[in-house]
Amino acid sequence: MEVIHPQQIEELLSVSKSLFGSNYHEYHYFKCTTNELIITARFKSKFVGFLKIIFEKGNSVKIDCIGVSKNFQRKEIASNLLYHYFQNHHSQTNGIYALAWKTSSGIHAKKLFQKFEMKAVKNLGQIWKNKCNIDFQCPYKLNTCNCEAILFKRDSI
C-alpha cells in the first residue's frame, strides 16, 4: 500500500518510535518512491505494523525495515507481512537481504528471516555506532552503542 494521508504516516511514525527510538524514521521515510513498497498491518483501523521493501538495481531486494507494535508482537503479524510480500510482489529471480540488530538479548528477527529461508551470512559490526543517540535516540544504547548488524540473505532461484 502506498501511504499518502498524513494521519497514516503519523501512526506509522508512532509505531517506529515505540520500537526503534525517536527520529529513527522521519516523515518522508513512509512516502514511497517508485522503487519502494510499504505493506501495513491494521487492527481495528489502527496501524500496528509495517514492512518496507526497496527494489534495488539488478535483481536485489532489501527488506529495509519491519516493525510491529509491542502489544501485537508474537502474533504472526511480521510473518504475515513477509508472507504477503513473497506471495504478491517477489520475483524468484530476485535475491533478498536484510539487516537484523544484534543486542545483548540476541539477534532480533532471526527466526523470522530464517522462516523465509534467509540465512545469516555476515556480522557487519557496529555500523550504527556513529548515528546512535545522535541522529536517533536508540532504545538499546547503554553507555555506548552495543548493537551489531547481522546480514541475512536469500539468493534468487
pLDDT in tens, 57-80: 888 899 999 999 999 999 999 999
List, as own/partner pairs, every contact residues 126-133 make where C-beta atoms lie below 8 angstroms and the sequence separation is at least 24, other chains included.
127/99
Which pLDDT band holds residue 120 (cuts at 50, 70, 90)? very high
Q: Which domains does the chain have, with CATH numbers?
A: 6-154 (3.40.630.30)
pLDDT for the residue 145: 61
Asked if pLDDT for residue 131 goes beyond 70, the answer is no
Reported as a single tens digit per residue, the pLDDT across 133-156 is: 565 566 655 666 667 888 999 987
φ/ψ (deg, to 5) at 66: -135, 130
- Cβ 18 vs Cβ 69: under 8 Å: yes
Which ranges of 21-121 would DSSP assign to H, the alpha helix? 77-88, 110-115
- Rounded to whole angstroms, how far apart are CA atoms 72 and 48? 7
pLDDT for the residue 77: 95
Count helices and strands (H / E) in the chain: 3, 7
Residues composing the chain: 157
Which pLDDT band holds residue 132 (cuts at 50, 70, 90)? low
Which pLDDT band holds residue 104 (cuts at 50, 70, 90)? confident
pLDDT for the residue 81: 95
pLDDT for the residue 4: 60
pTM of the predicted model as reported, rounded to 2 decimal places: 0.84
- Cβ 78 vs Cβ 113: under 8 Å: no
Asked if pLDDT for residue 22 goes beyond 70, the answer is yes
